[in-house]
Amino acid sequence: MQIDHVFVFPRDLPALEDRLGAAGLVPSFGRRHPGQGTANLCYCFENTYLELLWIEDRRALRDPRVRRTGLAERGSGHPAACPFGLAWRGDPDDPAPEWSLWRYHAPFLPDGAFIPVAAESDDMRHPMVFRSPATAAPADWTDGRAGGLQSAAGLGPVRRIILDCPRGFRAGPVLRDLAARTMLTLRPAEDWGLELEVASGSGSERVGPIR
């Protein structure tokens, strides 16, 4: 099991884009999610990627297929909703984690396809945890979406994903298990936030805070 990507609904999208650009990061790709009401901009590293997510169509978020994800609340700054999501990936033959999962039949997926989502994420105080349809790291993609990764900034693979959790937040079994199995680290803080520890020519660099 590996972290495929992390998404965030930024508090101030243009400001976050400016900060990432000032750090030398280059967007890799972006797309819309028809029927889900969101769009994204993604920054690929060798082994994972950061997804900036925002709402484009609030009516689509009320679709019964979408409502349970809590994306409407996560993306609107609801004080009780975590704005982050964590996607894991594994080989197709990997056994599924022993978590309670539900099938999200995302409107933008082909008929019959679905995304397994941890039922723990129904508590929107938790990040949304789900399995990515992808099985390969961005460095192994063959469709060109990853671009030059973050080589222009001299950055390689992400070594650690540090998720700042508000003081008093109690991580559930799924989130704790994900942290135990992957490069995710949970850190007490005043509010939700994210830092990426990324390999570089000087050893490592921190990208963040991302919120």
Kindly state whether residue 184 falls inside one of the protein's structural domains: no
* Residues spanned by the domain of 95: 2-150
- Flag whether 169 is in a domain: no
In a domain, 34, yes or no: yes
The residue-averaged pLDDT of 115-132 equals 97
How far is the C-alpha of 87 from the C-alpha of 147, rounded, in Å? Answer: 21
Tell me, what CATH number does 132's domain have?
3.10.180
Would 110 be classed as within a structural domain?
yes
Q: Which of helix, strand or coil describes residue 43? A: strand
Q: Is residue 50 part of a domain?
A: yes
Which pLDDT does position 93 carry in this prediction? 66
How many percent of the chain have pLDDT more than 90?
Answer: 93
Mean pLDDT for the chain? Answer: 95
> Over 90: is that where the pLDDT of 202 sits?
no
Instruction: Decide if pLDDT at 92 tops 90.
Output: no
Number of domains into which the chain is organized:
1
User: Which of 55-59, 67-71, 114-118, 199-203 is least confident?
Assistant: 199-203
Average pLDDT of 114-129?
97
111 is a domain residue: yes
Whether 207 is covered by a domain: the verdict is no
For the entire predicted model, the pTM comes to: 0.95
Distance CA 161, CA 138 (A): 16
Tokens 């992957």 sit on residue: 182
- At residue 97, the pLDDT reads 83
- Asked, for residue 120, whether it belongs to a domain, the answer is yes
Q: How far apart are CA 26 and CA 31, in angstroms?
A: 16
For 170-182, what is the mean pLDDT?
A: 96
